[in-house]
């Protein structure tokens, strides 16, 4: 707990926490996009396979 308080008081520590939060947001957005795209592609390939 003490280490977290020191990190939050240090300007460099706060900046690194902000960068970590941005990285997490980008990762969540990418995972969501890949999941939705994968589901759509799977559906499209199934439709094409059924028509063949």
Q: What is the pLDDT of residue 33?
A: 92
CA dist., res. 15 & res. 6, Å (int): 13
CA distance 8 to 6: 5
pTM listed for this prediction = 0.61
CA distances from 36 to 3, 11, 30, 33 (A): 39, 38, 10, 5
Amino acid 1: pLDDT: 67
| pLDDT higher than 80, residue 15 | yes
pLDDT at 30 over 80: yes
> Is the alpha carbon torsion for 30, 35, 38, 39 positive or negative?
negative
pLDDT at 41: 86
Structure-derived torsion over alpha carbons of residues 41, 42, 45, 51, reported in degrees to the nearest 10 = -130
């Amino acid at each position: 707990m003490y280490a977290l308080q020191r990190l939050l008081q240090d300007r460099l520590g706060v900046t690194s926490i902000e960068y970590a939060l941005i990285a997490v947001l980008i990762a969540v957005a990418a995972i969501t996009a890949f999941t939705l795209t994968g589901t759509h592609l799977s559906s499209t390939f199934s439709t094409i396979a059924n028509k063949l």
